[in-house]
Chain A
Amino acid sequence: MNGTFLKVMISLLLVVNTILVVFVCNMVFDLRQQVDNLQGVATKSDLIAMAAPSIELAFEEQCTRCHTEKRFADMPLDEEHRSVLLMNHVRRFNIPESEIENIQASLTLFDYSQYLTKEMLQQMVLMTDGERMEILLGIPEMTRDKAQQILKSYKMLLKM
């Protein structure tokens, strides 16, 4: 029985080890790709940007308790902003002014969440405004004014 137990343990460790090796190789490969993608030496401002908190969409925490995400997805941007103001002034939800701006900025980004994924928003932390505009203008049917508005919302959320 001892021989069988030893055999089982060795086989078990071998398989788990194989999985770990595959995982670690994958992590090393990913890391190498990320290093390859670094375009230059990081500056002090890059390091500060890297320390910035991750982008959190304010409405995800506060609004989705009552509304579904689909509701926001189906609604034009202007209407979304009007709805937030309406809820505050007519329905007397008393959302602070600063919070309204954050929610509206979040909804602006949410409207383009198909293109601006969380990973993309995180990557944009390290970019200059010019590079960010380049990405935003790459979105189909994007106008310069709209891109400026999105960039403003993005920068507002970065300061949160």
Chain B
Amino acid sequence: MSAPSKTDSAKRPVRLLRNLNAKIASIPMVATALVVFIGCTTWTVVHSFTSSKLLPKLDFVGWEQYDRLWGTRRWLVSIENLAWYGVCSMVLTLLIGFILAALLDRKVRFENTFRTILLYPFALSFIVTGLVWQWILNPDFGVQQVVRDWGWESFTFDPLYNPDIVIFGILIAGIWQGSGLIMVIMLAGLRGIDEDIWKAARVDGIPTWKTYVVVIIPMMRPVFVTALVLIASGIVKVYDLVVAQTSGGPGIASEVPAKYVYDKMFASQNLAQGFAASTMMLVSVIIILIPWAYLEFGGKKRG
């Protein structure tokens, strides 16, 4: 070690220069947080109150864009689709994810193989997912044709060509892609539960299914909440899947809000409509997040 310098370091250093390197290293984070997440979001919300068409401009028109938005059939269809897709996908993904995790948690042989097969769809993009299921659900060659070939001539299963049920055709693909993730999270949650709980339940003579319902699921509340938030924030963003699988068709039967936003902003040069629609998406995410944050932090206080 070099001899310590003889100068006194008695003066309190300038606050800004303390930890200077850490501050420099954090510039990208600060810039992202301020410019992109806060700045860009605010910009869009502000411009949703203008009449911007091809180019953004600041001539405020109040709630006009929102009035028009909620008077547009395509938007209403999008919202309705998202609601159906959202509710179904949330319930089914949670259910399937939990059941699969519970099955795998029963000390199954080849657990890794099963898990690998159930999770691989999550590695694939929504585009690939959408295109594969578009092909499988093709009425001339896919599932419908296979069943007809077996002899059931009148069997009809063409969700992608039937406006009434097209969103469920997308749902099939979405659940196939995403349920593996939820299974893995649930499995991690199940593994986090103390072995002794199971032993205690066995000593008390509680049947396995009842142990799950009465003991395990209540203990996994935080895991369920995390899974729910994850599914929910994914649902709002649904876009690629629809583009790949149906392009919003037939007609406008499978439109979703994210696609509405994209089309308004980048295809039909109606910027402010796009801004208003995306602001509505933001609002819905906030509505989902607030109860979650309440549960998280409220729960911590109680604990």
Specify whether A and B are partners.
Answer: no
Q: Which residues of B contact A (CB under 8 A)?
A: none
A interface residues (Cβ-Cβ under 8 A, vs B): none
